[in-house]
Structure 1
Amino acid sequence: MSPAAVAVRRLRSPSVSRPGIMASYVDILKSEFPQIDTELFDYITGVLDSGGADFEDAEEVFEAVGGFLQEVSADAKNEDEIRDVCLQMFNCLKLNDCHGSQQQVLLDAPVQLSQINAHTTEIRDVQGIWMMKRPQNTTVDAKKLEKAEAKLKAKHERRNEKDSQKSSTPVVLEEASASQSSSKKEGRVDQSGKNRSYDIRIENFDVSFGERVLLQGADLSLSFGRRYGLIGRNGLGKTTLLKMLSSRSLRVPAHISILHVEQEVEGDHTKALESVLQSDTVREELLQRERTLNARINAGTGDGSESARLSEIYAKLEEIEADKAPARASVILAGLGFTPRMQQQTTKEFSGGWRMRLALARALFARPDLLLLDEPTNMLDVRAILWLENYLQTWASTILVVSHDRNFLNAVVTDIVHLHTQRLDSYRGDYENFIKTKEDRLKNQQREYEAQLQYRQHIQVFIDRFRYNANRAAQVQSKLKLLEKLPELKPLEKESEVVLRFPDHFEKLSPPILQLDEVEFYYSPEQRLFTGLNLSADLDSRICIVRPHLPQTGFSPGSSWFGESLTPINGVRQAHRNLKIGYFSQHHVDQLDLNVCSVELLANKFPGRPEEEYRHQLGRYGITGELATRPVASLSGGQKSRVAFAQMTMPCPNFYVLDEPTNHLDMETIEALAKALNKFKGGVVLVSHDERLIRLVCRELWVCEGGRVTRVDGGFDEYKHILHEQFRKEGYL
């Protein structure tokens, strides 16, 4: 047998990789069919091992392998006897599935892929190991083999289709609603068109999501030309408030234009640059009228007024600087990472993340009176974030942005709107000023409450002392009236502290536990990703990887380099045999079953444990009480991230690869995440654009660009300096 076949059998054979119960069906095969052909034995054990969890009954086992067993039966077993054998093997499979779900699959010897490659010219990548052609001299009936494989394939397709239909069944979610007090005078002024102010003031309004009240009796004031950061804990209703404003469920003067960057651009044959130009509806309408009038003049069907109307249109086009629009659109796209070639690509060629960037570019180009942004930095790399910060600093109209990026808020906003305890509080200044002012305000409120409490107690002592003294009756009554008139102050309700913890019950591993030596990655010879990659990591590592978003690849350095999602073409990737990696994907929400609650999600992923254990695990990440029993689809983005953290940490990995973990998390949770990673005794590789988290956690900074990976010794400050210099050279600053 060839070295490749030996390696495949080592990896696949139950008798090697799964000790104990799993070996029993191998014994059944050997004892019942001692004359079985080696190739056929490999095939049958491979089918039973790889598809064991999919067989629903013994009949399916018989359909898969029964025909072959009848052919090789030395004592000419009849069909019923073969079915009995299949039933025994099915029972073994089910027992192993129940008892072995938590076991590790260990090889009894290392598999040398380089040796396999050297002896087998058919193998071009790791997938080729499982796709090797069967030797032509096999004793297996090829037609029956093809028939059995086709039957198995059809069965898997039916099951996948059924699972897909089940998972695609939408969860009926509650809808958000808003109500507000209003006066007839305001309504008449708005409808008459006399209201030319671009300031927005919404008073005494409520916002609910189903039966949950998010805001009650709240006030919101947005002055034209100021930039507001909307902040608050996950799940309190920040995104819902933006939706209420964009849909005008909350009354915004009709003459104020609103753009909410919420959904990605629909993919079609429109070029990216043209898609951005089309977002300026005023310019597009004027150009369309110009084309229509010119067509009438050329066709000789006009009424003679076309020339005068064209002059008006040209004057308006000149007023809005329509001739400069393509250059302005190109600058915006370039700042957000679109190369000149990408600007000429059709929108359908872009992935979802790039279409979201395109939606942001359209909003920036259209320049609405009120721009609503919900976590705009989630879709951007560090370079694009720095460009956006500089671009928004000169924004002429009003912005309301929800963001978890502390540095972005400090660079962009002029005011903070804090959503908490079903109300909105406004603060002048950036986020750092908000923190300081909020602390001072809370201290003053606490002092005021304590002073009033002491004053009340002093008055109450006088009342209690002279309550039954006739000579002091008038004074007692005066004191009682004074108590009634005092405003009732409530003690401060402190927000609960967010605490995250990554379990680290594992033994110390000798370094290096992960190592890459002169490694090359690419999807194809024409699409090379990285060359000459040299990296090493151990349990003390805190490595941050920053990189531009690579167009159309969906490439993640963390999971691809240190995991197994991408196979190195050249070089060596080595990992400690006891290494256990936990991955957090930036697209983690797509990997969650939205139709079940968080408790069911963990139970499906890690079956056989008591419900209390699932609830305890979720509680470590703030998913407690009623939150744990809600459908995952109804949770906010930050709450879904916490569920994904709970799922990732349940197997207790000793090394984490976190790809954009801060997306949708509130600032308190980001701070808690940083503390948890610093306390964690294992290794961490962080792929992130969040400057705050990088500064708090990472000791090494690696930059991916131009197919190479470079360590930046000066850390994040040096990297930002490099980007600013690039902006100056490219004319963006």
Structure 2
Amino acid sequence: MASQARVTKTVAVFEAASRRTVGRGVVSEQQADGTFQSSTTHITATGSLVSDDTSKDIIIDNFSLAAWGTNLIKDGTLKLAHGRRYGLLGVNGAGKSTLLKTLGNREVPIQNAIDIYLLDREFDPTDMTAVEAVVDIVVREKEALEQELEELLDQDGGSETPRFEAINDRINELDVGTAERRAKEVLHGLGFSPEMQQMKTREFSGGWRMRIALARALFVKPTLLLLDEPTNHLDLGACVWLEEYLKKYSHTVLLVSHSQDFLNGVCTDIMHLHNRKLDYYNGDYDTFVVVRAQKDATLTKKAKAAEKQLSKMQDTVARLGQKVAKQAKQKEKAMVKKTEKLEDVKDELVQEKAVSFRFNDCGGGLAPPVLQFRDISFNYPGKSRVLFKDVTFGVDLESRIALVGPNGAGKSTLLKLMVGEVQPTSGEIRKHHHLRIARFHQHLTDQLDLSLSAVQYLCASFKDEDGNALYKEQAMRNIVGKYGLTGKSQVVPMSQISDGQRRRVVFAWLALTTPHMLLLDEPTNHLDIETIDALAEAINAFDGGVILVSHDFRLIEQVAQEIWIVQDEKVEPWEDDIRAYKEHLRSM
């Protein structure tokens, strides 16, 4: 099946998202009042398009969005000005990914002339090479546009329409004649060597096929580019390249990212989803934090003043009692209005629950080094490429190490060697015989039984020798609540909670294992910024050792005391801080 989809002369590059639209059975219709409503099996969206058909700005009034029966946005205004780059913020479960999918699948009205690309999954395994897969998308787009031109030429005055001119401009922008050279440049920036660029897409892992999908998204340059955690499968070098690329993007970008550093580097605007509302702020993430804090301070003062006035009114009414019934009744009416105003002010405040969790103390008591590598060499069976050669180092319970380096250099493999998941080709790994190691990796979330609630899953995971649960449900609810999973999200099937919320379940599971050493392989993927800050605090408070692989510069800056570069068969210390390493990558 072609990986593009069109909706009645609409240039609509949906990739795999378009196929899933059909699979989910989207129902879309114009209502009698002129509004537009669209829904999938669990998502409902309504809104009225305000933008002119020829405009590249998108404005949708009376915009509401719900999933699984829960209101995510209610009667808001969705505004995307052409050429701006928006960072979409909100806590896990607020509805960020749902909003992107709603736009990408055109489940609300968007001008036909606006082409959309939603990046939310990897490219399919095919016999096309990586370069062919990237070039393919602009070739298909050009062919579809040329067909639309022919249809316009068959209409009286079709060549005089704004759409005819827009299509010609778009074809020129695609520049198919230089597509292969430019595709190679994009792939190189995302970490593909010349040899990898000629590999078939079915030969790549899911993470690398996600990079191919990202390359296609960037290469076709849609009018509206929707990116859901685009840095999740990138190493630090590719993150820096993508940041620089998006800074120069000429159309509209709406992205979800957990990286404050990336948001600061890319965004011209922040869209904040909270309390079922969309608020807009000019500037990058740091600017948003300052302005939001100032706004909250002002609103807090108003709320306190309103509460004080309300209290005085209540006292007055209590004194009047039945003696002056008419005057008391007037005061009560004033109290109702003041109460309504107070609720409006409080609703404006960002009242998101702070997340603060910790990893259980390991108790220490293990003499250093607790883990030693002596002259370790390694290559995977059947693979000629050597990942490590004569690597020697030691770690202890005070280690705070960040592993950096290009994807494929062996960072995750190094962690697998530490836990014994793979064995060295030569050399010796020595572990303290009481050492308990817990490794966080992306496949842990894949192993969750999504038919169970978080509480049910964790209770079933920790049992005594007789098979009895170590924790009762209420005790487990209290534990899970410390990781930011509260209320309904604790007890509904995990299929109904967000990826970020599932990651919190995994962190609770890790803490309950009480390890001496934490190996964290890209722990920030799908987490909101508040949870990442909580993770940093938990790492810093942990009394055991931590080895971290992350593409989040800020997390590394917060927790790492040492930075080791994994590259060219070696593991070597970087003598400066992570900011200097970023500048080093930028200069390459």
Same fold (TM over 0.5): yes
Match of 2:88 among 222, 230, 233: 230
In structure 1, the residue matched to 2:292 is 438
Q: Distance in 1 between matches of 2:278 and 2:404?
A: 35
Q: Relative to 1, partners in 2 of residues 1:574 and 1:465: Cα closer, same or farther, differing over 3 Å?
A: closer
Alignment-derived partner of residue 58 in structure 2: 200
Deviations 1:271-297 (A, max 9, x none): 1111111112566418999xxxxxxxx
Q: 1:530 aligns with which of 388, 394, 412?
A: 388
2:42 matched residue in structure 1: 176
Given residue 203 of structure 1, which amino acid in structure 2 is its aligned partner? D
How far apart in 2 are the matches of 1:316 and 1:678? 51
| 1:272–1:343 Cα contact (<8 Å) kept | yes
Root-mean-square deviation over aligned CA pairs? 2.9
CA distance in 2, matches of 1:650, 1:480: 53
Letter in 1 for 2:357: L
| Per-residue deviation, residues 156-204 of structure 1 (Å, max 9, x unmatched) | xxxxxxxxxxxxxxxxxx9432333438xx5xxx8xxx62111111222
8 Å Cα contact 2:138/2:176 also seen in 1:
no
Task: Tell me, yes or no, if structure 1 residue 548 matches structure 2 residue 406.
Answer: yes
Which residue number corresponds to residue 521 of structure 1? 378
Aligned to 1:644: 506
**How big is the shift at 1:599?**
3.0
Alignment of structure 1 residues 528-607 onto 2, 5 Å: 528-550=386-408, 556-607=412-463
Q: Match of 2:356?
A: 499
Task: Classify the secondary structure of the residue corresponding to 2:490.
Answer: helix
Are 1:395 and 2:249 counterparts? yes
Mapped partners of 1:478, 1:533: distance in 2? 82
Which has a greater percent of helix?
1
Change (3 A) 1:410 1:658: same
Q: 2:564 maps to which residue?
A: 702
Query: CA offset at residue 314 of structure 1?
Result: 11
Separation (CA, whole Å) in 1 of partners of 2:481 and 2:321: 52
Contact preservation (8 Å) 1:279, 1:362:
yes
Scaled by the length of structure 2, the TM-score of the pair is 0.81
Using the TM superposition, give the Cα deviation of residue 631 of structure 1 relative to its aligned residue in structure 2, in angstroms: 2.0
CA contact (8 A) 2:60 2:78 kept: yes
- What SS does the corresponding residue of 2:484 show, helix, strand or coil? coil
Is the alpha carbon distance of 1:556 and 1:463 closer, same or farther for their aligned partners in structure 2, counting shifts above 3 Å? closer
Confirm or deny that 1:241 pairs with 2:71.
no
1:428 to 279, 282, 288: 282
Distance in 1 of aligned mates of 2:518 and 2:217: 37
Instruction: Show CA shifts across 1:606-645 (max 9, x none).
Output: 3322433544443332334432332222221111111112
Kept in 1, the 8 Å contact 2:364–2:397? The answer is no
**Equivalent residue letter for 2:342:** L
8 Å Cα contact 2:364/2:543 also seen in 1:
no
Unaligned 5+ residue runs, structure 2?
Answer: 1-39, 148-166
**Which residue of the partner structure matches residue 611 of structure 1?**
472
Question: Does 2:528 correspond to 1:666?
Answer: yes
Q: Contact (CA 8 Å) 1:558, 1:657: kept in 2 or not? A: no
CA displacement at 1:315 relative to structure 2: 11
Whole-Å separation in 1 of the counterparts to 2:144 and 2:107: 31
Report the residue type matching 1:328 in the other structure. Answer: R
Aligned to 1:400, the other structure's residue is in SS state: strand
**Contact conserved, 2:61 with 2:77, CA < 8 A, in 1?**
yes
Distance in 1 (CA, whole Å) between partners of 2:320 and 2:368 is 79
Q: Which amino acid aligns with 1:600?
A: Q
Cα pair distance change 1:461/1:501, threshold 3 Å: closer
Letter of the 2:42 partner, please give it.
A
Deviation at 1:213, TM superposition (A): 1.7
The structure in which a higher percent of residues are strand is 2
Residue 10 of structure 1: aligned partner: none
Structure 1 segments of 4 or more deviating over 4 A? 281-284, 286-289, 313-320, 455-470, 475-487
Q: For residues 528-569 of structure 1, what are the alpha-carbon distances to aligned partners after superposition, in whole Å with 9 as ceiling and x for unaligned?
A: 101121221111110110122118x8x614422311122112
Residues 482/582 of structure 1: CA separation in 2 closer, same or farther (3 Å cut): closer
User: What one-letter code is carried by the residue in structure 2 that aligns with 1:596?
Assistant: L
Tell me the SS of whatever aligns to 2:531.
helix
User: What is the match of residue 541 of structure 2?
Assistant: 679
- Check 1:679–1:431 CA distance in 2 against 1; reply closer, same or farther (3 A cut): same
Match of 1:304 in 2: none
Q: Which amino acid in structure 1 is aligned with residue 48 of structure 2?
A: S
Q: What is the match of residue 329 of structure 1?
A: 183
Instruction: Specify the alignment match of 1:447 in structure 2.
Output: 301
* Alpha carbons 2:397, 2:544 under 8 Å: kept: yes
Q: Report the CA distance between 1:265 and its aligned residue.
A: 0.9
Q: In the alignment, is residue 365 of structure 1 matched against residue 215 of structure 2?
A: no
Distance 1:314 1:395, change over 3 A: closer
Q: Is 2:283 the partner of 1:417?
A: no
CA contact (8 A) 1:347 1:355 kept: yes
Structure 2 contact 518–545 (Cα < 8 Å) conserved: yes
Measured in 1, the distance between the counterparts of 2:417 and 2:177 equals 47
Provide structure 1 residue ranges, at least 5 long, that are not aligned to the other structure.
1-173, 290-312, 727-733
Matches of 1:286 and 1:617, distance apart in 2: 54
Look up the match of 2:341. Answer: 488
| Structure 2 match to 1:220 | 78
Equivalent residue for 1:292?
none
- Pick 1 or 2: higher relative contact order, CA cutoff 8 A, min separation 6: 2
TM-score (norm. length: structure 1): 0.66
Per-residue deviation, residues 82-101 of structure 1 (Å, max 9, x unmatched): xxxxxxxxxxxxxxxxxxxx
Whether contact under 8 Å (1:259, 1:372) holds in the other structure is yes
- The alpha-carbon distance between structure 1 residues 677 and 485, as it changes in their structure 2 partners (threshold 3 A), is closer
Identify if the C-alpha distance between structure 1 residues 464 and 390 changes in structure 2 by more than 3 Å, giving closer, same or farther: same
Q: Is the 8 A contact 2:42 2:69 kept in 1?
A: no
Query: Alignment length, in residue pairs?
Result: 518
Cα distance between partner residues in 2 of 1:469 and 1:228 = 59
Alignment partner, residue 163 of structure 2: none
> Is this contact kept in 2: 1:178–1:205, CA < 8 A?
no
Q: 1:653 aligns with which of 494, 504, 515?
A: 515
Q: Is the 8 A contact 1:265 1:355 kept in 2?
A: yes
Report the Cα offset of residue 448 of structure 1.
Answer: 1.8
Structure with larger Rg: 1
Conservation of the 8 A alpha-carbon contact between 2:355 and 2:482: no
Q: Quick one: structure 1 residues 559 and 468, their matched pair in 2 at CA, closer, same or farther if it must change by over 3 Å?
A: closer
What's the CA shift string for 1:236-290, capped at 9, x where partnerless?
111111111111112222221111001211111111111111112566418999x
Question: Which of 690, 694, 700 lines up with 2:552 in the alignment?
Answer: 690
**Aligned equivalents of 1:445, 1:286: Cα separation in 2:** 52
**Kept in 1: contact 2:354–2:484 (CA 8 A):** no
Amino acid at match of 2:221: R
Distance of aligned partners of 1:319 and 1:691 in 2 relative to their CA distance in 1, 3 Å threshold:
closer
Aligned equivalent of 1:251, options 109, 113, 121: 109
Aligned to 1:721: 583
Instruction: Report percent identity of matched pairs.
Output: 40
CA shift in 2, pair 1:670/1:521, >3 Å: same
Q: Find the residue that maps to 1:280 and give its secondary structure.
A: helix
Instruction: Output the CA distance in 2 between the equivalents of 1:601 and 1:316.
Output: 51
Instruction: Report SS of the residue matched to 2:48.
Output: coil
